[in-house]
């Protein structure tokens, strides 16, 4: 559909740079047809944007006179920290805020970039969403192993160890389904909203705006759901005393 | 009892709507220019949306009555409701993805 051909404004420059550097290194023949895809370009742009916002902010953090951005971010940090303390347990916010916060910030900015005509949402591509989902999935397993050691894998045997032949595939499938659903949920929502907004843009002026409002709401909601599910999975991995 | 009558009536109406499709097929030359992909996609997403809406309706209704009974817990209830709604919606989104595939959207 329309969204296939439409690239962000960063696509051309980055690909020109890529081809130039491939030529300069001498790999022009082998890498000539390889194009840096738009979702990779947009992903890199969002990382650069986040770095540009947050790194200067870090040096200007202040207890007495916080800037507006700092106050806004403190709201979100407190919100997520409260959630984590509630669901995972005491001291969890300190340990898991970096990962959950990074996921939240990246996913939110990626989703919202679908509302700008010169950007494309990287999360409208299955590659990005499954990368995020797999990262969250590996992370919660690592959190479980870090908390419980290798005894973490005993939970796959199920409540009755005698029935382990039945429970191992069941548990494995349910865990893989978590990764799949995390990725597909985010992809489906953002890609669907992006496609519908593209269709609505054919009628100019006021008509796209309700869809874009829905897009903004969906972007926030999907970020929240992704982070919330990651927190719940971490809690499940850490606890798991059946 | 009344709900069963309504559902039966809607099923009959749906069958009435399907009948003209048969007429359409006869008038085509050479066994059908019917786009089965889009037809299947329409049914898939309609059924998924109906099921999803029913589930979400129950969730929202339960959340509202819980808040009415215990306004102090409204923060936790709202959180649980949002999470439940998003999880149910994700099932509808899976059906939407398959329907888009069938309608040759991507």
Amino acid A51: pLDDT: 93
By the 10 Å C-beta count (0-12 exposed, 13-18 middle, 19+ buried), A230 is classed as buried
From the list B82, B90, B106, the residue facing A181 with the nearest CB is B90
Task: Determine whether the interchain pair B90/A1 forms a contact, defined as Cβ–Cβ distance below 8 Å.
Answer: no
Amino acid A32: pLDDT: 74
Q: A124: which chain B residues are within 8 Å (Cβ-Cβ)?
A: none
Dihedral angle over CA of B36, B40, B42, B45, nearest 10: -160
CB A71 within 8 A of CB A57: no
Q: B90: which chain A residues are within 8 Å (Cβ-Cβ)?
A: 181, 184-185, 188-189
Most B CBs within 10 A among A126, A183, A191, hence the mutation to make, goes to A191
Residue B43, CA distances (Å) to B11, B29, B32 in order: 13, 25, 19
CA distance, residue B57 to nearest chain A CA (Å)? 18
Alpha helices (runs of H) in A60-163, residue ranges in sequence order: 68-87, 92-112, 126-148
Mapped to the 3 state alphabet, what secondary structure does A143-190 carry? HHHHHHHHHHHHHHHCCCHHHHHHHHHHHHHHHHHHHHHHHHHHHHHH
Task: Determine whether the interchain pair B93/A184 forms a contact, defined as Cβ–Cβ distance below 8 Å.
Answer: yes
CB A225 within 8 A of CB A103: no
CB A107 within 8 A of CB A222: yes
Task: Determine whether the interchain pair A188/B83 forms a contact, defined as Cβ–Cβ distance below 8 Å.
Answer: no
Q: A185: which chain B residues are within 8 Å (Cβ-Cβ)?
A: 86, 90, 93
Amino acid B18: pLDDT: 59
Tell me the pLDDT of chain A (242 aa) as tens digits.
444 567 888 888 888 888 888 888 887 777 777 888 889 999 999 999 999 998 988 888 878 787 888 888 899 899 999 989 988 888 888 899 999 999 999 999 999 998 888 899 999 999 999 999 999 999 999 999 988 888 888 878 777 778 888 888 888 888 899 999 999 999 999 998 888 888 888 887 788 888 888 889 999 999 999 999 999 999 988 886 54
Amino acid A224: pLDDT: 93
Query: ipTM higher than 0.85?
Result: no
Report the C-alpha gap between A235 and A144 in whole angstroms: 9
Report the C-alpha gap between B95 and B97 in whole angstroms: 5
Task: Determine whether the interchain pair B93/A188 forms a contact, defined as Cβ–Cβ distance below 8 Å.
Answer: yes
Q: B105: which chain A residues are within 8 Å (Cβ-Cβ)?
A: 1, 195
Report the C-alpha gap between B55 and A240 in whole angstroms: 29
Task: Determine whether the interchain pair B97/A221 forms a contact, defined as Cβ–Cβ distance below 8 Å.
Answer: no
Task: Determine whether the interchain pair A188/B106 forms a contact, defined as Cβ–Cβ distance below 8 Å.
Answer: no
Nearest to A19 by CA among A32, A37, A38: A32
Q: Which residues of chain B have pLDDT under 50?
A: 25-30
Nearest to A87 by CA among A201, A184, A232, A210: A232
CB A114 within 8 A of CB A193: yes
Amino acid A236: pLDDT: 87
Mapped to the 3 state alphabet, what secondary structure does A197-240 carry? HHHHCCCCCCCHHHHHHHHHHHHHHHHHHHHHHHHHHHHHHHCC
Dihedral angle over CA of A48, A51, A57, A58, nearest 10: -170
Amino acid A184: pLDDT: 93
Q: How far is CA A216 from the centre of its chain?
A: 16
Task: Determine whether the interchain pair A225/B105 forms a contact, defined as Cβ–Cβ distance below 8 Å.
Answer: no
Angle of CA points B86, B82, A174, to nearest 5°: 45
Task: Determine whether the interchain pair B82/A192 forms a contact, defined as Cβ–Cβ distance below 8 Å.
Answer: no
Amino acid A240: pLDDT: 62
């Amino acid at each position: 559909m329309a969204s296939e051909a439409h690239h962000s404004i960063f696509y051309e420059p980055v690909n020109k740079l890529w081809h130039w550097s491939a030529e300069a290194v001498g790999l022009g023949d082998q890498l000539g047809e390889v194009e840096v895809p738009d979702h990779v370009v947009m992903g890199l742009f969002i990382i650069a944007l986040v770095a540009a916002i947050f790194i200067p902010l870090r040096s200007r953090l202040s207890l007495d006179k916080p800037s507006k951005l700092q106050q806004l971010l403190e709201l979100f940090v407190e919100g997520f920290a409260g959630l984590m303390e509630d669901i995972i347990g005491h001291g969890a916010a300190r340990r898991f805020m970096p990962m959950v916060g990074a996921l939240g910030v990246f996913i939110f900015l990626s989703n919202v970039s679908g509302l700008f005509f010169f950007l494309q949402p990287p999360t409208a591509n299955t590659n990005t969403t499954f990368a995020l989902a797999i990262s969250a999935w590996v992370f919660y397993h690592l959190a479980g192993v870090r908390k419980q050691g290798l005894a973490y894998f005993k939970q796959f045997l199920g409540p009755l160890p005698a029935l382990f032949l039945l429970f191992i595939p069941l548990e494995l499938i349910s865990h893989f389904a978590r990764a799949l659903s995390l990725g597909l949920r985010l992809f489906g929502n953002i890609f669907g909203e992006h496609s519908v907004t593209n269709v609505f843009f054919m009628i100019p002026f006021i008509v796209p705006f309700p869809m874009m409002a829905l897009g903004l709401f969906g972007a926030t909601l999907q970020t929240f759901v992704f982070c919330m599910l990651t927190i719940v999975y971490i809690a499940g991995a850490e606890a798991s005393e059946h | 009892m009344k709900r069963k009558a309504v559902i039966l009536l809607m099923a009959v109406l749906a069958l009435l709507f399907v009948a003209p499709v048969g007429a359409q097929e006869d008038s085509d030359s050479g066994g059908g220019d019917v786009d089965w992909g889009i037809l299947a996609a329409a049914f898939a997403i309609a059924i998924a949306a109906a099921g999803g809406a029913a589930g979400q309706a129950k969730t929202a209704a339960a959340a509202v009555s819980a808040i009415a009974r215990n306004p102090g817990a409204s923060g936790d209830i709202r959180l649980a409701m949002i999470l439940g709604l998003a999880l149910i919606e994700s099932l509808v989104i899976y059906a939407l993805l398959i329907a888009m595939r069938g309608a040759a959207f991507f």
